[in-house]
Amino acid sequence: MKKLWGGRFTKSAEEWVDEFGASIPFDQELVLEDIEGSIAHVTMLSKTGILTAEEAEKIKTGLLALKEKAEKEELSFSVKLEDIHLNLESQLTDLVGSVGGKLHTGRSRNDQVATDMHLYLRRQVKVILSYIEELQAALIKKAEEHIETIMPGYTHLQRAQPISFAHHLMAYFWMFERDKNRLQENLKRINVSPLGAGALAGTTFPIDRLYSADLMDFDSIYENSMDAVSDRDFILEFLSSSSILMMHLSRFSEEIILWSSQEFKFIELDDSFSTGSSIMPQKKNPDMAELIRGKTGRVYGNLMGLLTVLKGLPLAYNKDMQEDKEGMFDTVKTVTGSLKIFAGMIETMKVNTNVMEQSTKNDFSNATELADYLSDKGMPFREAHEVVGKLVLYCVNKNCYLIDLSLTEFKDASELFEDDIYHVLNPVTAVQRRNSAGGTGFEQIKQAIAKAKACVGSK
């Protein structure tokens, strides 16, 4: 099979060399974007008079026929033709004749592939944004159901203070909101057209880059042709934002795995997001959460891989940059799959409210309430802290909890304690009273949910 760039060469590469250098096994993912960019390019070539209207229409008809085949997955590709661009150009020429060769006028594969990736990533980031919002909606719904469900809050994985389960869930909502904001910012850098930059120096043809950019709904064009073909910052930014997003999903997965264990029993995952054991019939494993936690590493790896590829490259295009695609495709697949799974897990999980609430009564997570109580009555907080610390030690030695102490025992620690101390020690009261902005108090959570609802659906 003759190479479309083979005029300079007198010798063909061996088959295994062709296979090593070819990108078509993976860049066929860009088939629709490549056709879209080509349609915009040929439309511009006609507008500027570089091609006749008849030539352009013939080429466009051929491209639309290829698009229809691509959508039906009826196209076949050859390693001999290296990449998606040459494969499509060859098939276009077979359809419309030699005029198909005029499609490449005024452009290079360098600006062509960059255009394809901008188009691809723009489409995929919008899909990912919609999946983030589906997960956020699931969190809001579950939070609304559990505003007054009390659970232990943790620091250092040690029980710290009682909180609302809704408050815990909404912490992740706001993490995902930041992830959404980062990707929306990323779209600004994605939505820039490199088409018309040529190989690196522009072209002598009187092209109209702004017109072709407008046809593809790009906001602007690259101002420098060398930057246009060598820039992969927009992919790095996507991989970086995706890594942070996956880190958030991984942290949440870890908590779901802990909560669903026999030691916690805070939640039970739906059977559709769990698996069993081939040898232990009692097992119900949180495999989907574990997989998401594990897949986070591959997204980190994709980011580090591309950073390493790019770190030593001189301007402009280099063949190393062929390595920019597989990690991007893999990250898109991993992130979209993880988000879809996670939304389903949250929607269907059962919350064991009684277990959560009972856990707050069998610990010392209400100790801060005592210190605050004494501070409210005029005792300096540091002194109150010490008094309560000694009370906790007293309870540990006595094998009981603060709520079990008599008023006499409280008064032995400080005369400031009164009968109302038992109301203060109630975990529900402890949570309800924390109404500082952003706190776990029920009214604050309701306000947070109202704000969250306004975020979902906004672009």
Which residues are the active-site residues?
156, 277
Strand partners, 154: 159
Amino acid identity for residue 330 in this structure: D
User: Which residue intervals of 279-413 are DSSP H helices?
Assistant: 287-310, 325-348, 353-359, 367-376, 381-398, 407-413
Strand partners, 192: 220
- Write down how long the chain is: 459
Q: For tokens 């958030």, what's the residue?
A: 248
Close Cβ partners of 164 (under 8 Å, ≥ 6 residues apart): 146, 147, 148, 149, 150, 151, 431, 440, 442, 445
Contact at 8 Å (CB) between 193 and 221?
yes
Q: Which helix (H) or strand (E) holds 11?
A: none
Pairing of strands 158-164, 267-268: unpaired
List the structure tokens of 439: 């706190």
- Provide φ and ψ at 411, rounded to 5°: -70, -25
DSSP codes of every residue in 229-283? HH--HHHHHHHHHHHHHHHHHHHHHHHHHHHTSTTT-SEE--GGG-B--SS-TT-
78: number of Cβ within 10 Å: 14
Q: For tokens 């991993």, what's the residue?
A: 334
Contact at 8 Å (CB) between 182 and 241?
yes
User: How is residue 10 annotated by DSSP?
Assistant: S
User: How is residue 201 annotated by DSSP?
Assistant: T
For the chain, give the longest Cα–Cα distance. Answer: 101
Closest C-alpha among 175, 203, 174 to residue 44: 203
What does the alpha-carbon distance between residue 406 and residue 274 come to, in Å, rounded to a whole number? Answer: 46
Pairing of strands 350-351, 150-155: unpaired
Strand partners, 163: 151
